[in-house]
Amino acid sequence: MTAHLSQLTWAQGLRSVPVTFVIRQVLLTSPTGRVGPNARPAAKAKGGQRGGKGSSRARPPVRPGPPWGLIGIGIALVCFAAVVIGYAVYQINQAKKPAATASGIVNYRKTEKLARNHVPGRVKYLQSPPVGGNHSTEWQNCMGDVYTSAIADERAVHSMEHGAVWLTYNPSLPKSQVAALVAQVRGKQYLLLSPYPGQKSPISVQAWGYQLTTRSASDKRIASFISAYSRTASVEPGATCSGGSTATGR
C-alpha cells in the first residue's frame, strides 16, 4: 500500500514537470545532440586544430633559384682566361719582331704618320722604295710573286697595307744574288719581289712602316725581317694578298 502511494506520488510529480524542460535536459546530456539508442559520441578534433580536419592549407613547394654564385665564378674564369691568352699572343708577336735599332731596321712608324687613303694616280713618297702612305685602290698580287720588271709603288704600298713584305733590288744586282732573293720569295704568301730602278741600296726590304737595306742577298736579317713582319705589320689584319694586279710598269 505504501509502495503504491509512492509510485503514485512520483507519477503525479513527473506530470507537473514541463515537457520542454525534459527535452532540453536530454539534449544537454547527449554529446552528439542526437536522442535515441543509436546516438554516438562526437569525434574529437585531431591535433587540437580549430575547425577539424582540413582546416589548414598546404604550403606550395619552394623552388630553388638559379645558382648565381657559380654563374658569376664561371664568367670571371672565362674573362681571366681571355686576358691571359690575349696577353700571351701579344707577347709572342712582340718577341717575333726584331729590335729596330739593334738590327738596322728603320721604324718609320715612330717618326711619321703614314696615311692610308685610296687615291687615284701617282703618289709622291718620302722614302724610296716607299714603306707606306696613300695608295691605289688596287693592290699588287703578293702570293710569292716574282716580278722581273718594276711595278707601281701605289699598288705595292697597298699590298704592304695588307701585310705583305716587299723585296726590291737595284737592276745592277748580280744575277746570283737575284736568284737567292727569288728563292726566298717565290710561292710564299704575303711576299713579292721586283727590281727598283734608281734604288740606292743594292737590296731593300720593306713592310708597312719598316725598312731594311743591305748589300747582300745572303744577309740573315732578310729572313728575320720576313719572319717578323710578314702579316704582323699589316694595318688591315685579315686582308688578302691574292686577287691583286699582276701588271708591271710604273
Produce one character per residue of 37-73: b if its CB has 16 or more CB atoms within 10 Å, e if not. eeeeeeeeeeeeeeeeeeeeeeeeeeeeeeeeeeeee
10-residue stretch averages of pLDDT, the chain, 250 residues long = 44 52 54 50 48 59 77 89 79 53 83 93 95 97 98 98 98 98 97 97 97 96 96 94 94
| Surface-to-core class of residue 130, CB atoms within 10 Å of its CB (0-12 exposed, 13-18 middle, 19+ buried) | buried
Residue 5 is predicted with a pLDDT of 39
Grid cell 587540437 in the structure block, residue: 48
User: Distances from the Cα of 118 to the Cαs of 115, 139, 160, in angstroms?
Assistant: 9, 11, 14
The DSSP 8-state label assigned to residue 205 in this structure reads: E
Residue 119's pLDDT is: 95
Residue 170: per-residue pLDDT? 98
* Residue 86 dihedral angles phi and psi, to the nearest 5°: -60, -40
In tens, the pLDDT along 30-74 reads: 555 454 445 455 445 454 444 445 555 777 776 777 788 888 898
Q: What pLDDT was estimated at residue 71?
A: 87
Where along the chain do its domains lie?
A: 100-229
Using CB atoms within 10 A of its CB, is residue 166 exposed (0-12), middle (13-18) or buried (19+)? buried
> What is the distance between the alpha carbons of residues 178 and 55, in angstroms, rounded to a whole number?
103
Each residue of 95-110: pLDDT tens digit?
555 445 448 999 999 9
d(CA 160, CA 20): 121
**C-alpha cell recorded at residue 75:** 664568367
CATH 1.20.1300 fits 100-229, yes or no: no
